[in-house]
Structures are given as structure tokens and as C-alpha cells.
Copies of this chain bind each other. A is one copy, B any other.
């Protein structure tokens, strides 16, 4: 499974209007608190990988997921291999990874307002300490499907009045770490 994703900075009020005019379906709002870990044997900033425990809060319910993201495999989007599964208990998952020697290195906290449009999920993200973004995202099964998905995502950004040239390939984690003194 590959995640094809484009991200730009965006004014949310204007983006919301453009989404609704384009016929997007609101999917609701979720708050995510992601703790990123580094293993003792790899510098993820250098290898372009990520491993996190995500706590997701929707309508008072909390769920937890663990996620591994491999290096980006594509120079022009954020496409990468990704594996994610729900865990029963985020605190125990944290204890497991600390036991294995992983260290928490950063926390990314955001509120996401999601919309369905064509085959994409479009997300308006309010990210603590970073600001307002719009993400266009879809999953494809095989590497052969990536290019077409990337082109369709680029076209969709244009339709929403945004410039695909403004794309930010750096993750929220990367942007936060870049901001550190």
C-alpha cells in the first residue's frame, strides 16, 4: 500500500468554500497527538523514515495506532510505504518501544477537518506551532498506480485555487524539528 499525498499552506476559510463548491463531503473532525520515536540504531532524519504512536480523539473516544513510514520513493510527492495498525493501549505501546530502546523525539498535535472529494481525502490541518495546511491524500495498491494518482492530486489542488508549486514535502515532524533552535 502506498500513500500519495500533496501538502500546501492554505487559508482554511477560503479552502473550505472551494471544497464545498467542488462538492466535497465533510467527514468530520479529529484531534491527533503523534509521538515520534527514534531507534538507537538508525537516524530517521537521515534515512527519511518515521515511527510513531498516534492517539486519536473523536467525540470523546480515544484510539491508538502504531505506524511505520518508509523512505519517500518519489522525488515529486510524499509517496512512501506505510504500515499502520490499531493497538488496544497507547501507553503500553509506549512502554514496549521504550523497553526496546526507542526514544520519543517529538510530538505533533493537530486538529484535522476532513473532506471526501473524488478518490481523495482532503484535510484542513491546524498544527500546533506550525499553522494552517491543506493535504490531498489517497492510497494506491501498487507502485504502477502512483503517477496517475499524483497527477490527479495535482489537478485537484489547482481546482481548489491552490498552487501545486507551493508543495511542502517536509513532514510536520520535519517542520517542527527545523523550527527548533
Closest to A93 in B: B85
- Choose one: B41, B92, B99; the contact of A49 (CB below 8 Å): B99
| Number of interface residues, chain A, beta carbon within 8 A | 25
A interface, over-half SS = mixed
Does A87 touch B at the CB level, under 8 Å? yes
Smallest Cβ-Cβ distance to A94: which chain B residue: B83
Q: Does A67 contact B (CB under 8 A)?
A: yes
> A99 CA to B41 CA in the complex, in Å?
13
- In the assembled complex, the Cα of A13 lies from the Cα of B86 at a distance in Å of 40
- The CA of A70 and the CA of B40, in the complex, are separated in Å by 16
- Are A68's CB and B96's CB within 8 A? yes
Contact: A51 with B88, CB < 8 Å? Answer: no
Contact assessment for A68 and B87 in the assembled complex, using a CB-CB cutoff below 8 Å? no
In the complex, A100 has a CB within 8 A of chain B: yes
Chain B contacts of A99 at CB under 8 A?
49, 68, 70, 81, 83
Does A39 count as interface, using CB distance less than 8 angstroms?
A: yes
Chain B residue nearest to A40 (CB atoms) is B41
Which of B49, B81, B89, B100 is within 8 Å of A85, CB to CB? B89
Instruction: Name the interface residues of A59-103: CB closer than 8 Å to any CB of B.
Output: 66-68, 70, 81, 83-89, 92-93, 95-96, 99-101
In the bound complex, do residue A86 and residue B85 qualify as a contact, i.e. CB atoms below 8 Å apart?
no
> Is A14 an interface residue, CB under 8 A from the partner?
no
Nearest CB on B from A115, distance (A): 25
8 nearest A-B pairs in the assembled complex, by CB-CB distance: A41-B41, A86-B88, A85-B92, A83-B95, A68-B99, A68-B96, A85-B89, A83-B96
